[in-house]
Amino acid sequence: MSIENVSRRRFLKGVVGAGAFVLAVRYVPPIFSRHPAPDGQTEADRAPLHPNVFVGIETDGTVHIVAHRSEMGTAIRTTLPLVVADELDADWNRVKIDQAIGDKRYGDQNTDGSHSIRSFFDTMRECGASARWMLVQAAAQKWNVPASECSTAPHTVVHAKSGRKLGYGELASAAAKLDVPKKEQLTFKKPAEWRYIGKGKTSYDLEKLCTGKAIYGIDAKIEGMVYASIEHPPVYGGKVKSYDEQEALKVSGVRQTMLIDPFKPPAAFQPLGGVAVLADNTWAAFQGRKKLKITWDNGANESYDSAEYKKELQETARKPAKVVRSVGDANAALAAASGSNVVEAEYYVPLLAHAPMEPMVALAEFKDGKATIWAPTQNPQAVQAIVSTELGIPKENVICNVTLLGGGFGRKSKPDYVAEAAVLSKKVGRPVKVMWTREDDIKFDYYNAVAGMYFKAAVDAKGKPTAWLQRSVFPPITSIFDVNAVYGDPPHLAQGWTDMPYDLPNLSIENGPAKAHVRIGWLRSVANIYHGFGIQCFTDELAHRAHRDPYEYLLDLIGPARTIDFKNVEYPNYGASLETYPWETGRLRHVTEVVAEKSGWAKKKSVKGHGFGIAAHKSFLTYVATVVEVEVNDQGEIRIPRVDTAVDAGLIANPEITRAQFEGAAVFGTSIVRTGEITAKNGVIQQSNFNDYPVARINEAPRQTNVHLVESSAPPAGVGEPGVPPFVAAFCNAIYAATGKRVRNLPLSSSGLFG
Amino acid sequence: MVKINVNGVDHSFDGDPSMPLLWYLRDVLGLTGTKFGCGIALCGACTVHSNGEAIRSCITPLSAAAGSKIRTIEDVGANGLHPVQKAWIEVNAPQCGYCQSGQIMQAIALLKSKPHPTDQDIDDGMAGNICRCGTYQRIRAAIKLAAEKSA
């Protein structure tokens, strides 16, 4: 990490008050400024730096902290600055947060993969500690005492011996003249001294979120902008043959139409193409679009039928495939086992859409060779990259302002919708805001992959597996970057598949090929959704088959505490080192024990119509176990009175926010299990809105989710995503306990199990 | 010409009277606290009050809203936070926050008709409002808290 003291640089004038003390700089323009100040991107600034942040202290003591990651409801825009504030020993009430534009000087800004805290915790502490070090030095010099005699209280440097004190604001100018310390010079607070880390704060934006004042992408507005709505090719990879705009132009408020070129494969984040209607307001654009007459060339995906595709996927899953990890010789052991001791099962999860409440939307202004963007994006640097490519301008000439996001769940890390706005703005020579309808959002998503899974186990007299084969088949996310990609890539196979944690003598973990006919993309928990569902439900099947308690059985399979050996196995471990983040089955075991205890598992016996299910799954380096209670009435209506989830996410920076993430994950998982399904006929997606792609409502969601955070001294791990997979499996296991019906095909609404 | 009263202010609009109230509020008046989520009254993100009742502004043509007193989230907290907003903050209800304007407008209307709602009342009253982040548990707690505090 590298922090520069750039207080005196010319380009910072006017950013913060005169004499302001600035670390790790970046000027962030007010969100709707038409003319962002020059951001001082010299060659030196553009040099690849380690992630760094902006800490500015005004002479009045105001502390500015830049949030460089996107806010979509996880409060990351609050929690990372909170870490800075803690090490700076700042008073949180005097902190102001600025949202960073997209800029590689921050390092990774893709707010995806549940790794913001993990990847930036140390960096944020260093940023805060560096500033504090300089303030202490400045005070020591003023008082002519050794710095070692000085300490800090919130927003103040203190010399206890003489009783003298100076506020951070009073010291800002003097500190600005000092060199930035090296990391070795820094002293960090001890955990016991933390005021904010581990205690947490609610969102910096909380009041705005409750008063309609929060600014999302949909709220972006600049003078002279026009509103656009785009008719996309109904089949992935299709294009416009011809179109008639006459009737569209007659709609009051419609200005013009514009053809958008189809993408050149691979699709990646390019616009899908189609016809845009530009108008004076959103409604006129929507109305005009309905009047377009377009003839399409649907292309090769016209034959895609999701029901047929499901059969192919399952066929593939029954055949031997690529082995990604093995122990012993599962095939030989399975062949040697007697038929009555062999268990097989197939599991299936369909394509899933993200459906964040704010549909895709972006505002772009192309002017004088520069593009200025306002967008709800999880990935502003990907915005820079795709807009740069589409418009043929340097990345540095793409200024991406990041608004709040009305939900993201991974969809908004793919900026095709932003590229559309930029392309249109360049074509029409004025600012353009592209607004997707909900139908656009459902039909033109980057779907979570459909997956077929096959399991086969040989069991001993106690029902414990002596051999275990698991095979998954799903069109990989890499297919959006490489049209020939059909096998799961190691990072996504690592999501709950390669790392199947059971301690078994014979194990074969396999993956078969599947071609994509839609755009496949990351969705909250990603491949863990289907992998966790398959493994944890198959485990429950085996437990019931052996007439054993599912909790005791699960613990038996996890086995004694050990570190999983990934020698000679490609296991990317979510980008973290296995040294810092080893796979410790003892921690999975522990959360399983905790959730059993907290949920009162031992006392709760499932009866007809009222069942309890359990599952444990590690993802994004976090160990989670969940118990779900369900009630099923004679009409097959399912209620979820209670959920208990135990979480070991290492050090937890913001506990209350973490609890909220796991509460939300249970609701997200409820939608997946109950109704989450995208299907296609003749290449056309069959769903369109919340009527045919329903998501959980308040009466369908778990009534009470209790989140049990396990105290841990391990380094921080993810909290946004890991709650979904064990919930999905535990919910289905509870349904079995209550009804005797095994859910192997999601969702329930099309499983045929309940009417 | 459509005449409409929004947050106590009279407006007249000579554009398309079939334009839904939602887009009039957002694109014409610049009142962006009310959100677009589905366009067909399935999600409740666009909920506002018409003469004190919760309506879905995304399917309410301006012609139908003419003559009504429309109230949006911007007005609710204009003179200090509304008790429902205070309860929302106290229980830390929002995650992304996008649906919460609609949730709060719906909750205010619910509490008007049922000052002490049961869980079933809350289910019935709030089931039209989707929160994709899954904050329902806290929304329920906030509604109960607001009811308790106004008792």
- Could you tell me if A46 and A132 lie in one domain? yes
Cβ-Cβ contacts under 8 Å between A and B: the total is 190
- Could you tell me if B8 and B65 lie in one domain? yes
- Could you tell me if B49 and B93 lie in one domain? no
- Could you tell me if A70 and A146 lie in one domain? yes
- Could you tell me if B56 and B109 lie in one domain? no
pLDDT tens for each residue of B94-112? 999 999 999 999 999 999 9
Contact by Cβ (8 Å): A326, A333 = no
B134 vs A: CB within 8 A:
yes
A253/B15 Cβ within 8 A: yes
Option in B42, B100, B133 nearest A210 (CB): B100
Q: Above 0.90 for ipTM, yes or no?
A: yes
Option in A209, A661, A691 nearest B42 (CB): A691
Neighbours of A618 (CB within 10 A): 27
The pLDDT of residue A176 is: 87
How many helices (H) does chain A have, and how many strands (E)?
Answer: 18, 27
Q: Tell me how many domains chain A contains.
A: 3
What is the arithmetic mean of pLDDT over A515-522? 98
Nearest-neighbour CA in chain A from B151: distance (Å): 22
- Could you tell me if B61 and B90 lie in one domain? no
The pLDDT of residue B144 is: 98
Peptide bond into A266 cis (omega under 30): yes
- Could you tell me if A547 and A567 lie in one domain? yes
Among B74, B102, B133, where does a domain finish? B74
- Could you tell me if B16 and B55 lie in one domain? yes
Contacts of A357 in chain B (CB under 8 A): 35, 37, 43, 45, 96, 98-99, 130-133
Does position A34 have pLDDT exceeding 80, yes or no?
no
Looking up residue B18, the CATH number of its domain turns out to be 3.10.20.30
Nearest-neighbour CA in chain B from A371: distance (Å): 23
Axis crossing angle, helix A116-143 with helix A76-88, rounded to the nearest 10: 30
- Could you tell me if B9 and B66 lie in one domain? yes
Specify the higher pLDDT residue, A178 or A229. Answer: A229
- Could you tell me if B62 and B109 lie in one domain? no
Q: How confident is the model at residue A22 (pLDDT cuts 50, 70, 90)?
A: very low
Q: How far apart are CA A661 and CA A248, in angstroms?
A: 44
- Could you tell me if B67 and B87 lie in one domain? no
Looking up residue A249, the CATH number of its domain turns out to be 3.30.365.10
What is the arithmetic mean of pLDDT over A157-167? 97
Does position A586 have pLDDT exceeding 60, yes or no?
yes
- Candidates B66, B68, B50; CA nearest to B109 is B50
Does position B86 have pLDDT exceeding 70, yes or no?
yes
- Could you tell me if B29 and B51 lie in one domain? yes
- Could you tell me if A196 and A262 lie in one domain? no
- Could you tell me if B66 and B32 lie in one domain? yes
- Could you tell me if A694 and A708 lie in one domain? yes
- Could you tell me if B103 and B64 lie in one domain? no
Among B74, B97, B132, where does a domain finish? B74
- Could you tell me if A544 and A464 lie in one domain? yes
pLDDT tens for each residue of A302-343? 999 999 999 999 999 999 999 999 999 999 999 999 899 999
Domain range spanning residue B94?
Answer: 83-149
- Could you tell me if A525 and A596 lie in one domain? yes
Partners of A627 in the β-ladder: A614, A644
B118 vs A: CB within 8 A:
no
Contact by Cβ (8 Å): A275, A259 = yes
Contacts of B129 in chain A (CB under 8 A): 697-698
Q: Tell me how many domains chain B contains.
A: 2
- Candidates A228, A718, A135, A175; CA nearest to A430 is A228
End-to-end CA distance of chain A: 58
The pLDDT of residue A755 is: 67
The pLDDT of residue A53 is: 56
A187 domain residue, yes or no: yes
Q: How confident is the model at residue A656 (pLDDT cuts 50, 70, 90)?
A: very high
Nearest-neighbour CA in chain A from B121: distance (Å): 10
- Could you tell me if A428 and A502 lie in one domain? no
Looking up residue B129, the CATH number of its domain turns out to be 1.10.150.120
What is the arithmetic mean of pLDDT over A541-553? 98
What is the arithmetic mean of pLDDT over A394-400? 94
The pLDDT of residue A442 is: 98
Q: How confident is the model at residue A46 (pLDDT cuts 50, 70, 90)?
A: very low
What is the arithmetic mean of pLDDT over A215-234? 97
A440 domain residue, yes or no: no
- Could you tell me if B91 and B133 lie in one domain? yes
Nearest-Cα residue of chain A relative to residue B41? A690
pLDDT tens for each residue of A59-109? 999 998 889 999 999 999 999 999 999 999 999 999 999 888 888 888 899
A1 domain residue, yes or no: no
Between A24-33, A49-58, A520-529, A713-722, the lowest mean confidence (pLDDT) is in A24-33
- Could you tell me if A653 and A727 lie in one domain? yes
Among A181, A204, A227, where does a domain finish? A204
Query: Which 48-107 residues of chain B touch chain A by CB within 8 A?
Result: 72-74, 76-77, 81, 85, 88-89, 92-101, 104
Domain range spanning residue A648?
Answer: 306-353+446-750
Q: How confident is the model at residue A494 (pLDDT cuts 50, 70, 90)?
A: very high
What is the arithmetic mean of pLDDT over B84-96? 98
A355/B123 Cβ within 8 A: no
Among B46, B74, B102, where does a domain finish? B74
Among A219, A291, A357, the residue to mutate for chain B (most B Cβ within 10 A)? A357
A22 domain residue, yes or no: yes
Instruction: Name the range with the highest mean pLDDT among A13-17, A131-135, A383-387.
Output: A383-387
The pLDDT of residue A54 is: 64
φ/ψ of A210, rounded to 5, equals -105, 0
What is the arithmetic mean of pLDDT over A285-308? 98
- Could you tell me if A452 and A590 lie in one domain? yes
The pLDDT of residue A56 is: 87
- Candidates A618, A623, A631, A626; CA nearest to A598 is A626
Between A122-126, A621-625, A693-697, the lowest mean confidence (pLDDT) is in A122-126
